[in-house]
Chains A and B, each alone.
Chain A
Amino acid sequence: MSTYALSPTVAAPEVQASRFRRYQSETRLLVGRSLRTIPHVPERLSDVTIQPIVFTLLFLYVFGSAIHVPGMRYQDFLLPGLLGQSIAFGVIGAGVATAGDFSSGVTDRFKSLPVTRLSVISAQVVGQVIEQVLGIVIVAGLGLALGWRPDLDLASGAALVGLVLLGLVAFTWFGVLLGMLVRSSDAVQGLGFAIVFPLSFLAGTFVPIEGMSAIPRTIAEWDPISAFVASVRRLAQGTRSTGSWQLEHPIVSMVGWCLLLMAVCVPLALRRFTRMSS
């Protein structure tokens, strides 16, 4: 016979830890939950592993053979582009994961537990950023193996890492908000590919913006992802881009876009999250 008798032999812990300590440990547990699912569904990582590898190989060896960028090797042009694109694709990954959690009811479970609301949403962001970083490392590693020669010193290297992380965090918040608003993984995927995909191609990622015809060139000149790509290119290769203010000042623009994105998305996401709950 079971001796469980519903009054667990393990007493319910009195919550004594400070709010901040609780927030930290809850966030850590929830990030752990998100990362622990990866071995069970490795295909979930395909958008940060296989996809960038395919893109790198496809553009380096297939399309790249017909693309000539004046004054630089195609590897050195392409890799910063791919890194910028990877940052932007974080929206899709974060959106799909968030929408999935909300539609499956697992978020409801977390929210009906005495868990800080902020930790549920922070864990979503942190978990996603970790996954995206993995993708970035894969792209950069593969690029280096295939002949990418970034020209980095300690300062510009640190700046590059910081900039990439900032971009990932901002786009992940955007994705989390999108996932909460749309609430269907398939719809987020569709929306992501309809908007982010073309914008990430227009951004001077694979071919120089200067060579585009008028309409795509105008879009590209103001596409936020162009600022990402141009920033990475400026830091990694010292390339100066021209065409619009943001292309001439890519780093400032990129930081600005990220801060703007977070200033809009973070409060909206938090508000959305608490309004859907209490």
Chain B
Amino acid sequence: MEASPPPAVRARGLTKRYGDLTAVDRLDLEVAPHEVLALLGPNGAGKTTTVRMIATLERPTAGTLQVCGHDVATDADAVRRSIALTGQFAALEDNLTAAENLTLVARLRGHPRSAAARLVDELVERFQIGDFRNSLVKQVSGGQRRRVDLAASLVTRPDLLVLDEPTTGLDPRSRQIVWSTVRELVADGITLLLTTQYLEEADVLADRIVLIDRGCAVASGTPAELKGAIGEQRVDVAPTDPGSVDQLASILAERFELEVDRERRSISIPAPGEASDLAVVAALVRDSGIEVEEVALRRPTLDDAFLALTGHEPTTGADEHDDEPEGAAA
């Protein structure tokens, strides 16, 4: 066999400053071949800036960054040949059709006309674009746009696929479609770097998650490790009458370990079995005849993850670069 390939991403002390603002702060990051890594963090954490440096769209202020063995500073063209980027905003020509967009990217990637046509047919089938292949991109839904954008990124198989917030702003159904497409790519062994604000998305798609805040990596691990550190999903029960909290708690305590917060009138039960635990709790509550305001399954959120792993809430909204990738490049 050949020598093991270089890491898809290898960042050491990667830093990007815009004037006084440090968007990415001495970030160390490594993505192994065939790994799916999620960069998880709130808006403004520096995810998009990191991705833009990897894609050679921004120049690092300091630190080193190699992508697929090529240095972004000295060999940007080789980096561009190795990667494909699907940005936060689907980068398609609105006034061309889905098929015309794919053809253009295929031709720019150097495929001759006839080969490009065959390739587009394959991509259209693979990404289920057939229904709207001849519709203008500006007329298709957000989810369909993302699919065309993903297809455009896969005109040639990249050594590294970079997805910047692939489902931000999508409705749940479109999100599911994008996830299933990405899962297929992952099953196919592609190396993927993904940024997201959603813990659930990172959990569903990634092998490894790096938590990023204010441009620094603050924690990393497998989804299972992170979830272990954050805590389980829980079922929260809130009796209507504060006086019945203890009574209900004693009934539920026969089946579950639980935490009671009398001030907030809340009984919280770890629910590793998700929906089945929820059903059992709901049945017990109904049988008890105690009136409740709410029985709800709570998934840990990005805020919970930050609180559990870093001891503080994520910093949000401090900078605009993730919202506006073009905002302050100077």
Interface residues in chain A, defined as those with a beta carbon under 8 Å from any beta carbon in chain B: 2, 4-10, 12-13, 15, 17, 22, 26, 29-30, 33, 36-37, 40-41, 102-106, 108-115, 183, 275-278
Interface residues of B (CB under 8 A from A): 55-59, 72, 76-77, 80-81, 83-85, 87-96, 100, 104-105, 107-112, 115-116, 118-119, 122-123, 125-126, 136, 152, 154-157, 185, 188, 190, 325-326, 329-330
A10 touches B91 (CB 8 A): no
CA distance A22 to B81 in the complex (A): 14
Q: Is the CB–CB distance between B85 and A112 below 8 Å? A: yes
Bound Cα distance A1, B33 (Å): 27
Closest 3 CB pairs of A and B: A109-B91, A37-B95, A105-B91
Among B92, B93, B122, B125, which residue has the most Cβ atoms of chain A within 10 A? B93
Of A6, A22, A108, which is within 8 A of B91 by CB? Answer: A108
Work out how many contacts link A and B, with CB atoms closer than 8 A: 118
CA distance A277 to B94 in the complex (A): 22
Neighbouring B residues of A183 by C-beta, 8 Å? 326
A109 partner, pick from B56, B77, B92, B95, beta carbons under 8 A: B92
* Given known contacts A110-B108, A278-B59, A7 and B80 CB-to-CB distance under 8 angstroms: no
B154→A277 contact, CB < 8 A: no
Given A37-B93, A40-B96; A5-B108 close (CB under 8 Å): no
15 extra A-B contacts, CB within 8 A, seeds A10-B119, A112-B57: A8-B119, A10-B111, A12-B156, A22-B110, A29-B107, A41-B95, A102-B326, A105-B87, A108-B57, A108-B85, A108-B87, A109-B85, A114-B77, A115-B108, A275-B330
Flag if B126 contacts A40 (CB, 8 Å). Answer: no
Query: Which residues of chain A are near B330, meaning CB under 8 Å?
Result: 275
Question: Contacts of A4 on B, CB cut-off 8 Å?
Answer: 122-123, 125-126
Alpha-carbon gap, A7 to B123, bound state (A): 11
B100, B104, B105, B330 — which one has the most chain A CB atoms within 10 A of its CB? Answer: B104
B153 to chain A, nearest CB (A): 9
Taken together as a complex, chains A and B put the C-alpha atoms of A146 and B215 apart, in Å, by 65
Taking the closest CB of chain A, its distance from the CB of B150, in whole angstroms, is 12
Question: How far is it, in angstroms, between the C-alpha of A102 and the C-alpha of B185 when the chains are bound?
Answer: 29
Complex CA–CA separation, A10 to B155 (angstroms): 9
Residues of chain B contacted by A7 (CB below 8 angstroms): 157
Looking at B55, B77, B88, B91, which has the most chain A CB atoms within 10 Å of its CB? Answer: B91
